[in-house]
Amino acid sequence: MNMDIQSIKQRFGIIGHSPRLDRAIDVARQVAPTDITVLISGESGTGKEAFPKIIHHLSARKHGPYIAVNCGAIPEGTIDSELFGHEKGSFTGAHDARKGYFEVVNGGTIFLDEVAELPTLTQVRLLRILETGEFIKVGSSKVLKTDVRVVAATNVDLQEAVSTGKFREDLYYRLSTVPIHMPPLRERKEDIIMLFKKFSADFAEKYRMPPLHLTHDAEQLLINHRWSGNVRQLKNLAEQLSVIEKDRYMTADIINEYLPREPHNPLPVLFNEGGRETAGLNEREILYKLLFEMRRDITDMKKVIVQMMEDGQVSRGFQEEHAHLIEKIAKDSDLPRVYQDNAASIPHDRDEEDMVESYEETPHEYIEESLSIQEKEKDLIEKALHKHKGRRKKAAKELGISERTLYRKIKEYNI
């Protein structure tokens, strides 16, 4: 059945004229007659659940079974049983054998919503079905076959989930044979007022009251709002206003009272060289990274001070006043020791007893801190290498250091 985009919108209750929305519907229409696996991505509340129905009802499987499974709503301990079935006595409480969804939907379409929530072992089982059509029930050794068309959806960035090891890379590419992206509502500004009026009319009929009317400033407020909850949030707003507000004419001030305040986070965000937020690091690791950068800056400062001393750019008076600090820099740094003799020859303003006490405390504190930082530095390098599966170039970029420095650190720490 070859339906145009407008007919599909009317049949499945899709509202809007956004070019990006029309493009997503067109891709679904074209891929429907095939058995290709489809991955639908988009933020929560954008209406992704309508597309598996479009694909199923426009396919040759339209007379077969269709089932939608919310992978995030099934406990990890029972999801394999739900999807693939189990044999009697395979686990505590399994009093009877049970067919799983993939067996029940044989010849039809299964919609896996929130597919990113699948446990790793379940991902392996799903990959086998996609590649061979074979699966094994929990507690069984018999291989079964099924003929199911899989449509998956997620509001998670699966590529990011792959890079952090939360989602299998091979399964991602197998699911996303044909990707369909649902645009967020803020990228469909031309549809916002149309959607609000449709929801308002529906709720007016449902609750038997006059529909809402928007003033010009109210329309502009709705159009310019971010809508983090997308169409679902807009629908909830229309229902709240329909039920609570007695005045049927909505101004910007009235609507603004129902819109959530955007959260403000005063904490700094760490960015890498490309301007993107650093991913995969917790707060403690970010602090360690900042400490490493501070350590590098201090080392660079030492180099500058020693170079200024060698070039005669620092007065003798300054050298005498800060002799203990200059001598410590020369001793503790990895810089050439050419200045140590000169530093030792500078007369000290403090008596010998004070100097002995100072050198007993200060170097000890510095060495203890240095060892702690080195230990954390080694730990962070190992985590970066593990995260990027041994790819040193990517690990170096994640750590904010050069590849040459990373190679030296790996050799130094015997990683």
* Whether residues 339 and 384 fall in one domain: yes
Q: pLDDT at position 403, please? A: 79
* Least confident residue range of 62-66, 245-249, 399-403: 399-403
- Whether 142 and 229 map to the same domain: the answer is no
Q: What is the mean pLDDT of residues 57-68?
A: 96
Q: What is the CATH number of the domain that holds 149?
A: 3.40.50.300
201 shares its domain with 82 = no
- Do 154 and 291 belong together in one domain? no
- Does residue 253 come out as left (phi exceeding 0), alpha (psi in the -120 to 50 range) or beta? alpha
Mean pLDDT on 311-339? 58
What's the whole-model pTM score? Answer: 0.63
DSSP lists the bridge partners of residue 340 as: none
Distant-in-sequence, close-in-space partners of 221: CB < 8 Å, separation ≥ 6: 252, 255, 256, 259
Question: Stretch 363-376: mean pLDDT, rounded?
Answer: 53
The fraction of the chain above a pLDDT of 70, given in percent, is 75
User: Quick one: 29 and 73 in the same domain?
Assistant: yes
Q: How far is C-alpha 343 from the chain's CA centre?
A: 53
β-strands 134-136, 213-214: how paired? Answer: unpaired
Cα 183 to Cα 358: distance, rounded to the nearest angstrom: 65
What's the confidence (pLDDT) of residue 322? 62
Of the pLDDT bands very low, low, confident and very high (cuts 50, 70, 90), residue 374 is confident
> What is the per-residue pLDDT for 321?
61
Both 170 and 199 in one domain: the answer is no
CA–CA distance, 309 with 171 (Å, rounded to integer): 61
Residue 33 belongs to a domain: yes
Do 13 and 144 lie in one domain? The reply is: yes
Distance CA 89, CA 366 (A): 63
Q: Indicate whether 109 and 171 sit together in one domain.
A: yes
Q: Which of 256, 273, 301 is the last residue of a domain?
A: 256
Q: Would 77 be classed as within a structural domain?
A: yes
Domain count, the chain: 3
- Least confident range of 82-86, 145-149, 178-182, 305-309: 305-309
Q: Is residue 61 domain-shared with residue 177, that is, in the same domain?
A: yes
* Pair 133, 250 in one domain: no
- Which pLDDT band holds residue 404 (cuts at 50, 70, 90)? confident
Per-residue confidence (pLDDT) for residue 27, from 0 to 100: 97
Distance between CA 281 and CA 270 in Å, rounded? 10
Q: How far apart are CA 92 and CA 200, in angstroms?
A: 50
Look at residue 282 in the predicted model and tell me its pLDDT.
Answer: 55
**pLDDT (0 to 100) of residue 356:** 40
- 94 in a structural domain: yes
